[in-house]
Amino acid sequence: MRITCPYCGNRSLDEFLYHGDAEPQRPDATADNAMDAFVSYAFERTNPPGQHHELWYHEAGCHAWLVVTRHVSTHAISSVDIARDLAKARTPNTAGRA
Using CB under 8 A, list all residues that contact other proteins.
7-9, 11-12, 14-15, 60-64, 82, 84, 95-98
Displacement of CA 26 from its chain's centroid (Å): 12
Please, which residue, 48 or 96, has the CB nearer to other proteins? 96
Site string for Zn ion, 26-65 (x = CB under 5 A): --------------------------------x--xx---
Report the candidate in 15, 22, 24 with the shortest Cα–Cα distance to residue 62: 15
CB 18 within 8 A of CB 70: no
Q: Does 5 bind Zn ion (CB under 5 A)?
A: yes
Stretch that binds Zn ion, among 3-11, 37-45, 48-56, 83-91 (CB under 5 A): 3-11
Cβ count within 10 A of residue 11: 16
Report the residue number, 8 or 87, with the smaller CB distance to Zn ion.
8
* Cα–Cα distance list, 92 to 71, 79, 85 (Å): 29, 22, 10
